[in-house]
Structure 1
Amino acid sequence: MLAVLRSLWDEPRPPDAPRRVWRDWVLAGVIVPVAVLEGVLRPDLPWRAVSVGIAVGLVPTVLWRRSRPLLMVVICFTVTGLPSVLTGEPLSEMYTMAYQLILPYALFRWGSGREAATGLVIMVVAASLTTAGGHGTGADTIGAFAVLSTTVTLGGALRYRARARARELDQAKLLERAQLARDLHDTVAHHVSAMAIRAQAGLATADSRPEAATDALRVIEAEAGRALAEMQAMVRVLRTDRPMDLTPGRRIADIEHLAGHTPSGPRVDVRISGDLDGLPPSVEAAIYRLAQESVTNARRHARHATRVEVRVTADDASVRLRVNDDGDGGLVRPAASPGYGLIGMIERAHLLRGICVAGPDPGRGWTVTAVLPRTGAAT
């Protein structure tokens, strides 16, 4: 139990907490006139001028709620709770003050474990002192604690849900890195095998043809350089201790197997053109994986689609893949919220020094475009 409490206490702040965005300024701009309007329409409001002043004066706490969550909670509960305890009367009963519930939510969503625990104690003490002063009935007290508990729980739940999603995205990237490392392993094994063969040939002909041994050394030198480059690339992308699958990787020619028509999906048309000779196995495997994932996504998510076009073209510098469908899947596959499959595609292209972009077409349909350099991760 102590270990659990200590881990909660040592919980760091979530990374990349957003600062002030335009929505925060809009919220602040709405709260101020609403508070003034409530003060005008409620002449029976106790301490009307002071209450409106407090409601307006605490608006800046909304702007700093993510960068300074604990400080904003302390300011809010001190300003609203302490005068009420000292005077014996509720200082503010404005409905507009409900916006302050954003602060406990932000504390548990963006604060550290220490800040959340400290802020919770401050909020409970302030609410208890207000209750002890006889402000409100028992039902009001229970309702206030229920609303505060709900807000705190919501902030904590969204915090850990965001962290779970971040872990899932990291896992998807790690699996893609492991897959790419396997493909690079195939490339390194190819170069090492070529060196071994040339060395055996040079030894066999060294006595009768000394010049053959020299040629073999040149080939071995070139292959060793390429193998070293691929090995360095594999070390860069390998980020997991899972054992690698050493089965042969896919090739661009295997994309042809994706073509055809299924009873419950659109027809897939594949066209491959350009100079594909001499491509590293890692690039060929990446193009196949990207095409396979794109076709799978189109069959699953492209509503009312009748066709999926897969185009692979290669030139002297790069290999380009384009997969598009004619469905209206853009309505359910927003580019701003990529799935794990798309995350893996982008990660694989990035590791090979390329790019991968996916999004809806202007009219209808969805297009995935990837461009990889011919030299792959060894670039």
Structure 2
Amino acid sequence: MTSPVRALWRSPAPTPPPPRRVWRDWVLVGVLPPLVLLEATLRPEVPWRWGWAIVLVALVPTLLWRRTRPFTMLAVAFGVGTLVSVVVGGDPQLVTTAYFLVLVYSVLRWGNGRAMLGGAALVLAGTLAPLLLESPSPVDLVGGLAVVVTTGSLGLAFRWRAGARARELERMRLLEREELARELHDTVAHHVSAIAIQAQAGAAVAAQHPDAATEALRVIEGEASRTLDEMRAMVRVLRRSDAPELAPVPGLDDLGRLTSSPAGGPAVTVELDGDTASVPPAIGAAVFRIAQEAVTNSRRHAHGATRVEVRVRVDGDGVRLDVRDDGEAVVSARPGFGLTGMAERAALLGGRCEAGPCDGGWTVTAELPRAGWPR
């Protein structure tokens, strides 16, 4: 088998799996037998009309399993129909035989690769079988093939559309998970890091300076309370569609919150330059989260750092953020979730974010051009 045929042969059934039965199935099973008998009564000129009517009525229940056993039901219907055609020496001329097309549709819509290829071969053989018994006109032959091909094309089209929709839903779920992971890392991890730093500082000075240890405990209590508040805010966002309107989004004006350094930690200064009021909320929130993560990394990993400088400049090109500390320069650093999250935030807005050692410390630079700003 060639590669495309082999790939189709091994392709699985579509996901999500189809429903076993719905109300439409019972409507079809209930309506078709009376229609078959009515047509057989009204068309006395059809050869073997009552024999065909009995066969068609007997095959109607195959519609109930057309989703779960599409190829089997198609094989039963076409096999019995072809066998009866050979015995009576002609095709069924009842219009109600058209319900076989529902089985053709089901094979291409719900079957796996083997079912689709086998069903196509079976339908083709059943369509061309009359050539062995009689010589149909080219118009009838082409018309029959066109109807079958159109029905199969509809099955493939709906199959492709359902698959595309499922892939889009999965993509949206992944994006939501990534966004939630970034928010957890940028908010909760920030406060947890501050708690860890305070706990280490309190343990170091507890013996000689009990008052300093008590102050560290107060800071830990405050950071823990803020962590719980932000966790509750995230839960509200996940549970209620109107929660984003109730929860304020941090922006450039909130960068001053980063200057509250833990005892013994590096001092943080924030400098804003330019028309910060013109920055959209989404851009301001991204800049705040990137700066927050950069400051947290400096507090945790910059050995010997005494200060962290945060500079934001807004001009005609966009926003530029620079976060620099004076700790020991690191030759290399393995990208973690924080660095990855900062880069992703900048990339989503058409910008870039880079981090690395500099002269006398570590620097994080983010640029968000106006071309990537939401309008």
TM-score, normalised with respect to structure 1: 0.58
Q: Once the two structures are aligned, what percentage of the paired residues are identical?
A: 39
Cα gap change, 1:112 to 1:288, in 2 (>3 Å)? closer
SS at match of 1:18: coil
The residue identity in structure 2 corresponding to 1:76 is A
What corresponds to 1:16 in structure 2?
17
The residue identity in structure 1 corresponding to 2:26 is W
Contact 1:195 1:223 in 2 (8 A): no
What corresponds to 1:122 in structure 2?
122
Gaps of 5+ in 1: 227-275, 297-309, 313-379
Shift of 1:4: 2.7
> Is 1:70 equivalent to 2:64 in the alignment?
no
What corresponds to 1:245 in structure 2?
none
Gaps of 5+ in 2: 248-375
Name the CA distance, whole Å, in 2 between partners of 1:202 and 1:50. 94
Cα shift readout 1:171-230 (whole Å, capped 9, x = no counterpart): 111111111111111202211212203322442453243x8659968997x999x8xxxx
Q: How do 1:356-371 residues align onto structure 2 when only pairs under 5 Å count? A: none
Cα gap change, 1:120 to 1:33, in 2 (>3 Å)? same
SS at match of 2:200: helix
What corresponds to 2:133 in structure 1?
133
Name the CA distance, whole Å, in 1 between partners of 2:219 and 2:135. 89
> Is 1:57 equivalent to 2:6 in the alignment?
no
The residue identity in structure 2 corresponding to 1:50 is G
Name the CA distance, whole Å, in 2 between partners of 1:199 and 1:217. 11
> Is 1:149 equivalent to 2:149 in the alignment?
yes
Contact 2:48 2:88 in 1 (8 A): no
SS at match of 1:59: helix
Name the CA distance, whole Å, in 1 between partners of 2:39 and 2:196. 84
Query: Please, which moves more after superposition, 112-121 or 1-10?
Result: 1-10
Cα gap change, 1:193 to 1:3, in 2 (>3 Å)? farther
What corresponds to 2:183 in structure 1?
183
Name the CA distance, whole Å, in 2 between partners of 1:288 and 1:112. 40
Cα gap change, 1:295 to 1:97, in 2 (>3 Å)? farther
Cα shift readout 1:264-294 (whole Å, capped 9, x = no counterpart): xxxxxxxxxxxx9764424424646887x75
The residue identity in structure 2 corresponding to 1:108 is L
> Is 1:165 equivalent to 2:165 in the alignment?
yes
Q: How do 1:102-117 residues align onto structure 2 when only pairs under 5 Å count? A: 102-117=102-117
Which of the pair has more CA radius of gyration?
A: 2
Name the CA distance, whole Å, in 2 between partners of 1:279 and 1:197. 17
Contact 2:236 2:243 in 1 (8 A): no
Cα gap change, 1:118 to 1:149, in 2 (>3 Å)? same
Name the CA distance, whole Å, in 2 between partners of 1:58 and 1:193. 72
The residue identity in structure 2 corresponding to 1:171 is R
SS at match of 2:129: helix
Shift of 1:82: 2.4
The residue identity in structure 2 corresponding to 1:200 is A
Name the CA distance, whole Å, in 2 between partners of 1:132 and 1:30. 33
Contact 1:24 1:63 in 2 (8 A): yes
Residue of 230, 233, 239 corresponding to 1:281: 230
Cα shift readout 1:3-52 (whole Å, capped 9, x = no counterpart): 33222111111232111122111111110111111111111111021011
Shift of 1:157: 1.1
What corresponds to 2:99 in structure 1?
99
SS at match of 1:58: helix
The residue identity in structure 1 corresponding to 2:55 is I
What corresponds to 1:373 in structure 2?
none
What corresponds to 2:86 in structure 1?
85
Cα shift readout 1:287-330 (whole Å, capped 9, x = no counterpart): 46887x7599xxxxxxxxxxxxx778xxxxxxxxxxxxxxxxxx
Question: Highest relative contact order (Cα 8 Å, sep 6+), 1 or 2?
Answer: 1
What corresponds to 1:354 in structure 2?
none
Q: Between Structure 1 and Structure 2, how many residues are aligned? A: 245
Contact 1:184 1:281 in 2 (8 A): no
Name the CA distance, whole Å, in 1 between partners of 2:242 and 2:215. 45
Cα gap change, 1:53 to 1:223, in 2 (>3 Å)? farther
Name the CA distance, whole Å, in 1 between partners of 2:199 and 2:243. 41
TM-score, normalised with respect to structure 2: 0.58
Name the CA distance, whole Å, in 2 between partners of 1:162 and 1:135. 41
The residue identity in structure 2 corresponding to 1:178 is E
Q: Report the aligned-residue RMSD.
A: 3.2
Name the CA distance, whole Å, in 1 between partners of 2:76 and 2:218. 75
Q: How do 1:161-310 residues align onto structure 2 when only pairs under 5 Å count? A: 161-185=161-185, 186-209=187-210, 213=213, 279-285=228-234, 287=236
Cα shift readout 1:137-189 (whole Å, capped 9, x = no counterpart): 11101001010001111101111110110010111111111111111112022
Name the CA distance, whole Å, in 2 between partners of 1:42 and 1:162. 41
Contact 1:205 1:213 in 2 (8 A): yes
Cα shift readout 1:70-119 (whole Å, capped 9, x = no counterpart): 011111111111232354322x2100111110001000111110111011
SS at match of 1:136: coil
Contact 2:63 2:103 in 1 (8 A): yes
Name the CA distance, whole Å, in 1 between partners of 2:237 and 2:62. 52
SS at match of 1:19: coil
